[in-house]
Structure 1
Amino acid sequence: MKKITLLEILVVVAILTTSFAVGYKFLKSNNNTEFSGDEMYKCAWIADKIIKKGFPLYAEIEGRWTSSNEEFKDKVLITKANGGTLFAIYKNQTITIGGKLASKEDIAANKIKLMPLGNTIIKYELAPINAHSFKDIKTKIDIPEHLTVLDVYVYGTFGIDSKTYSPSEQQKIKNYIQYSIPNANLYFTFGGVIFNGKVNLDYLDDLDNLLKPENITTSNLDVYIIVNETISQINMSKLKFNDVRLITWS
């Protein structure tokens, strides 16, 4: 067996120390949400953390279209972040955003301001539901009235009995899901659909119109209630939910 030399040990220690220092620096600046185009890796790292916690994430972008060099200055919805690239929806189209020297992405950004919705998520669990419509499911989701609720999402799997869809009907449904419910998965089966993902409560009525369900059975559901209040302003004793948790993006 080859012996590890002192030099090799020192190299490993140096790499680990550098990695820890970079990660610690990112964590210490986690409250910073404004970045220059030279800070895309840091921006994407923080964006990914916010998205994975369940917060809808918007961003104000200043930069240019890489295809035409025309100025870009607008607000987008960030759906994913990877490496030094942000993936977003803008005017019902998917776009990519890179740093100021970007050439492969759609937008080369000079300035990015991340804008998470709300300050706290109240997350709780619902047992599986049997219902005849998404509207019925909506009535079973309790929302606290004493807090400033900005948005509500529900996450889980929905088995939907409806009909067998033709190819054109399937594509119409996929087009809607792609831009209205990003990162959701849809599986067409004989006599219905299996839907998995996180859906805004406001879109449940649209799913009724789109899928016309006869019966729906869900998995356990996670409910995400996004509120403006900070954790210190929320009285946990007033939250009568099952397995309730409070989540903050900062």
Structure 2
Amino acid sequence: MISWIAPIVLLIIWEALARFGFIEPYVLPAPSKVLMTAIKLSYSGTLANDLLVSLTRAAVGFAIGGSIGFVLGTLVGFSRLAEAFIDRSVQMVRAIPFLAVLPLVIVWFGVGETQKIFLVALGVGFPIYVNTTLGIRQVDPKLVELGRVQGLTTRELIRRIILPGAMPSILTGVRFSLATAWLALVVAETIGAQSGLGFLAMDAREFLRTDVIVLTVVIYALIGVGADVIARRLERSLLSWHPNFGAAR
């Protein structure tokens, strides 16, 4: 409850400044105005449809990019030879900003769904790749040696020692990727989209509907908070054996 005090106080101050004319409505509408806009768009079905479209794009892109990032990170984490073949190329692509690669992606895929899902997958894959590799490399060698002494096979060693030991780092990558997915989607939906939250915001910009633009920003923030809550609960579930996570349940 304490963590919500600051956001609530900011909302109250924002509402007061807007109502007393210190902030012009076209610059930043009052929270009550944004809420009424959300209710109207919800009744018309526009908000639900655009929200569902954006969530679907983010989920599909996250599944594709996350899977690729995890597989590549696992290969590089276990094999120096795989690192020699894969890591440098991945790091070079990771350094390219979304806006720099966007024109090329449009040439490849046009401005349809494939372009948007590709950008989300591209952004999501790197944090999971880096943290998976790091997590596997940071597993205590003494634990691995202990597993070998106990007669564990390679498969059992990976399943019972290495992957559980790397899981905190992997889940940290998942949390970063959830935030990156929405960043990539915002960039993708500003170009040629016919639906989605990004399209809703860009369409509102044409008519100077600041209330709709602020609403989309608030929705992005709420989705980000919700995704982070889900990731935290996933951490507590998968890492219940870990003293730093199990105690927080």
Q: TM-score by structure 2 length?
A: 0.22
More strand by share: 1
More helix by share: 2
Q: TM-score by structure 1 length?
A: 0.22
